[in-house]
Structure 1
Amino acid sequence: MTATAGGPGSWSENILEYFLRNNQITTEDGAQIIWYHAANHKMQVNEALRNSFMWTGTAHMIEADVILPSERSEHGQPIMAHPPEINSDNTLQEWLAEVIKSNKGIKLDFKSLAAVEPSMMLLENVKRYLKRPVWINADVLPGPNGNSRVVDAKPFIDTVTSFFPDVTFSLGWTTGWHPEKVNEGYSWTMVKEMEYICNELNQPVTFPVRAALVRQSCSQLLWLLKQSHRYSLTIWTGKNDSYSIEDLLFIRDHFDKKRVFYDILEPQNHEFKQAIGIKINL
């Protein structure tokens, strides 16, 4: 099934088209998008919303993690934290109140189904202020060396789309990386399972994939992107992963530049941007 990206300001608008239209990037190249990762605590949100910060320049997309402090409580207030952390100085409601003052795109990452519905209700309250890309993320399948709990794909997708049928999904695999052994990549079974989940959706879907596992999965991920023009990749990195700038350049050489985004940590992000000749405006 195919569908076109959403119109200007919709949550399914291609982020390259959005930021190009707003003169924040100069060409349709996913490497031009600057991410601020894990903007959970108030200090991090303030830094992400400032015009610039160390290394990366001005962020286009702000990524943050949403949990319920207690999944046993149906009336719990969603807060901004990444497990194993379970406390935060920031609720989702407070986070949204700050971010809507900016023009930045949003990616919200969910580690459990329990947090999704109360979060969608809060998003619904501010939707009229969010004429920009909004991505909703969860790991819905086990991936290479993955041992974290997955979020059940069908109720996750159904809950989100019941509120926002035009949202952009970010659907990934749980993964692990071990420095002392050979790390397998994304298998054919893994990518075909993901395609089975996504092929009936109408909205754009980006697949977050771990940088250290992409090179050995090139055939599988190229196949996955060929299944629909709605699909893209978001390359991310674990804090202790070992991978080279050459691995990132390999990805750039083999995939469509319009369909790969790079949410990677420093200093590799800065080195990568330098290697491909993208100037960062600090």
Structure 2
Amino acid sequence: MADVLLDSSSIIRDRTGRTEEMLETSDELPPKSSIAQCVIEKAGEVSETSDDQTTSPIREATVKAGQESETLKSTTTSEKEEDVVSDKAELGNTVNVIDFFPEINDDLSLVRWAHGVNSHIKLVDSLNDPLVMMLEADVLAGTLEDSVDTSPVPIMAHPPDTESDLTLAMWIEAVIAANKEGKKKGVKLDFKDLSIVQESLKTLECYASQINFPLWLNADILPGPVDSTTTPLAPNEFLSHCVRYFPLATLSLGWTTRYTSAEDEKGEYTLAMLQEMARTHEILNIAQPVTFAIRACFVGRSIDALEWLIENVLDSTLTVWSAATDDFDPQAILTLQDVVGTDALYLDLPEDQMEALEEARLRGEEQQRKNDGSGASNILPITTITTAALALVSALAALYLYN
């Protein structure tokens, strides 16, 4: 897998010459150009419409492409329209988690995650781990490590990092290659920077026909608990980009949050917060699947409101997540699971919290067995007394008849 990833890296870095020719021989790539050229063009389109007129390295690569670029420009209007229709049809390859992983039997809590898959090493490890089903990674504007060009491109990194050894294009190519090898992996891309969303989705669009696995697009689009100072991404702009480029992907929508302590009475998702999210979903006429990202430490005070959200937004689920340093109440999660059902609740939690949750579940089952056993033991004396009473009545009746 490491070799595959390194090959993907070289493909993205070398956008001309023999690498281009090698890419064009693939039967699964767009007929008019290579994927690398597609990435160049998509990024160029975003650059031309941006207020920032700084020349990007991708735009420079377009100029260097020379003859192939001129060939692309000569494509007829009808051919372009056919390509657009074909691309949109190919978006149908995107599948949901339940269909992609039938072994979970509709129990979303069985989905296993790899978190912060933002580096070459972490990506290779996660792709080769047979227990990992979904890869969670962060996308922001930054630069590729050891690159001489400092123009921002979509990279895999979490703030405050602004450099990475993986661009988004390199990352998604490696995931596609792994799926072709039978290593079934879905992806959740967490966008931290609105300025890079459109360029990122245009990059992914180049691979649309090969993304035949779950694709989640995640962002915090509304303010939530507790008076977070983080600015949410503009919901209208983020969602309009997602719907335009990937209308069948799952939208993962959340609230900005700030954790203080378990005793903080503001530590909850209020009904007003959830109603605002539902209104946003309705106003923008979202028709694709949606999961709402919920921070675990706030679940205990929010169960009724979360039940309302699930009941009022069609085709929706909840994804409970947690920071490793958060206080964690496993019983609150188990209660929420009972309320909304295992087919509506993903658990994207650190390993130690998943272990604590499993221990709490087993304790609950053991207590239930004890309660059931206690009930059965109480029934036995009653049955015995009833039998004795019947025997006494029968004896008295016989004595009466005998006399």
**TM > 0.5 between the two?**
yes
Q: Deviations over 1:220-269 (max 9, x none)?
A: 11000001331110000012100122222222222211010000012111
SS of aligned partner of 2:221: strand
CA 1:243/1:205 → structure 2, altered by over 3 Å: closer, same or farther? same
Question: In the comparison of the two structures, how many residue pairs are matched?
Answer: 259
Which moved further from structure 2: 73-82 or 177-186?
73-82
Q: Of 110, 117, 126, which residue of structure 2 is paired with 1:48?
A: 126
Contact 2:96–2:213 (Cα < 8 Å) also in 1: no
**What is the CA distance between 1:276 and its match in structure 2?**
4.5
CA 1:32/1:180 → structure 2, altered by over 3 Å: closer, same or farther? closer
Q: Of 234, 247, 261, which residue of structure 2 is paired with 1:179?
A: 261
Correspondence for 1:140: 221
Correspondence for 1:131: 212
CA 1:128/1:273 → structure 2, altered by over 3 Å: closer, same or farther? farther
Correspondence for 2:114: 36
TM-score (norm 2): 0.61
Distance across 2 between alignment mates of 1:64 and 1:26: 23
TM-score (norm 1): 0.86
Q: Of 61, 75, 83, which residue of structure 1 is paired with 2:134?
A: 61
Contact 1:116–1:159 (Cα < 8 Å) also in 2: yes
Q: Deviations over 1:99-123 (max 9, x none)?
A: 1122211110001211111111111
Whichever residue aligns with residue 256 of structure 2, its letter is T
Find the structure with the greater CA-based Rg. Answer: 2
Q: Of 264, 271, 275, which residue of structure 2 is paired with 1:188?
A: 271
Q: Of 99, 113, 128, which residue of structure 1 is paired with 2:175?
A: 99
Deviating runs (4+, > 2 A) in structure 1? 8-11, 73-76, 270-277
Contact 2:219–2:233 (Cα < 8 Å) also in 1: yes
Structure 1 segment 106-117 matched on structure 2, within 5 A = 106-117=187-198
Q: Is 1:152 the equivalent of 2:228? A: no
**What is the CA distance between 1:275 and its match in structure 2?**
5.0
Q: Of 278, 282, 294, which residue of structure 2 is paired with 1:209?
A: 294
Distance across 2 between alignment mates of 1:220 and 1:180: 18
Correspondence for 1:55: none
Q: Deviations over 1:18-38 (max 9, x none)?
A: 210xxxx24110111101111
Distance across 2 between alignment mates of 1:28 and 1:243: 25
Query: Mind listing any 5+ residue stretches in structure 1 that lack a counterpart?
Result: 1-7, 53-57, 278-282
**What is the CA distance between 1:9 and its match in structure 2?**
6.5
Correspondence for 1:250: 335
Contact 1:9–1:18 (Cα < 8 Å) also in 2: no
SS of aligned partner of 1:232: strand
Q: Matched residues, percent identical? A: 33
Distance across 2 between alignment mates of 1:269 and 1:33: 12
SS of aligned partner of 2:225: coil
Query: Which gives a bigger RCO, structure 1 or 2 (Cα 8 Å, sep 6+)?
Result: 1
Correspondence for 1:168: 250
Distance across 1 between alignment mates of 2:150 and 2:316: 34
Distance across 2 between alignment mates of 1:180 and 1:231: 27
CA 1:165/1:129 → structure 2, altered by over 3 Å: closer, same or farther? same
Which moved further from structure 2: 179-188 or 88-97?
179-188
CA 1:180/1:161 → structure 2, altered by over 3 Å: closer, same or farther? closer
